[in-house]
Structures are given as C-alpha cells and as structure tokens.
Amino acid sequence: MNKIKRAFGQQDDEEGIVTENSSLIQISDATSLSWSTRIKCFAFCFIMGVLCSVLGALLLWRNIRIFAALYAVGAIFSLSSTLFLVGPAKQIKNMFKEKRIIATIIMLVSLVLTLCAAFWWKKNLLALIFCIIQYLAMTWYALSYIPFARDAVKKCFASCMG
C-alpha cells in the first residue's frame, strides 16, 4: 500500500503519518473514504469496466445491442474508477482542460449515441461505428495524461502515411 501511496504523491514519515506531497492529499482529506478504500473502489470499478468491455466484445456478433450496452457501461465504469483516486471535482476539471476537451466531448457524445443507436434507433452498424469513435476518443483522452504520447502517436501516423 505504501508503494501505491508514494506513486500518487503520498509518503509516510518515520512515525507512519502520511505527509502532504501533492494536492491529492487535500482532496483525500475532504472526503470520508480512507486511502485503502479508495484504491479498492478504483480497482473494483476498473476491473468491472474491463470485464464489461471484454464481455461486450465477445457478444459483438451475437447481439449488437448487448455489445453496445456492455461497452458503454464498461466505459462509464472505467472513467468513474479514477474518481476514487482524484475526486469528482478534479476529475471533471481535468476532463475539460483545453488539451482534453475535444476528446472528452467526442467520447461522451459517442457514448450516448452508441446507446441511442442500439436501443432507440435500432441501427446495429451505427452503434458499432459509435463504439469505434468512442474507443478512439477514449484512447486519445488517455494519451493526454502521458507526457509527449500524443506527439509520438502523431509522428508515428505521419511516418506511416508519408
């Protein structure tokens, strides 16, 4: 647990008291969940997100509606898992920063459109297209958290195309 705390900016001093190393401590102190509970909730939501997405992928050609629903629920679980690490206010603030706002909007809109296409409009191919758009937007969103990752991807695609 101490390694995980250090990875997110928390460190124990000699007496075992957590010292402030980042704004994560301030957010953590503002809620009633302990750090170990936060990690457990994060892990649960993340694993549920992966399981829903994988199960949806297995059902892709059997029932596109179930696939779309499981994929969307998996995306929601995966996104919500980080709420336990940084808190809802900071997560939303991070999602709508200038470098992530377009990916965030595309991801959320395509998530809603996936469900609409699958259940309301009953257009299987359209639901699949929105799932692909959602996946690409979520990937681009996730890459924004890794320094220089977007630039590397852009250069990789540029070298492949040119």
Task: Classify residue 11: in a domain, yes or no.
Answer: no
Instruction: Confirm whether 152 is domain-assigned.
Output: no
Tell me the per-residue pLDDT of 53-82, one tens digit each, with 9 for 90 and over: 999 989 888 888 899 999 999 999 998 998
Task: Specify if 50 maps to a domain.
Answer: yes
pLDDT of residue 61: 82
* Domain residue limits at 120: 38-145
Which residues sit opposite 11 in a β-bridge? 19
Cα–chain center distance at 69: 17
The amino acid sitting at 39 is I
pLDDT digits (tens, 9 = 90+) for 71-124: 999 999 998 998 888 888 999 999 999 999 999 999 999 999 999 998 999 898
Buried residues in 40-66 as b, exposed as e (16+ CB within 10 A): ebbeebbebbeebbeebeebeeeebee
- The pLDDT of residue 20 is 46
Does a structural domain hold residue 77? yes
Top-ranked range on mean pLDDT: pick from 26-30, 48-52, 80-84, 140-144: 48-52
What is the model's pLDDT at position 82? 86
How many domains, the chain?
Answer: 1
The answer to the question of residue 78 being in a domain is yes
CB 103 within 8 A of CB 137: yes
Place of tokens 């991801």: 107
Check: CB of residue 103 under 8 Å from CB of residue 71: no
Please tell me the pTM assigned to this model.
0.73
Say if 66 falls within a structural domain. yes
Span 26-54, average pLDDT: 84
Eight-state DSSP code of residue 19: E
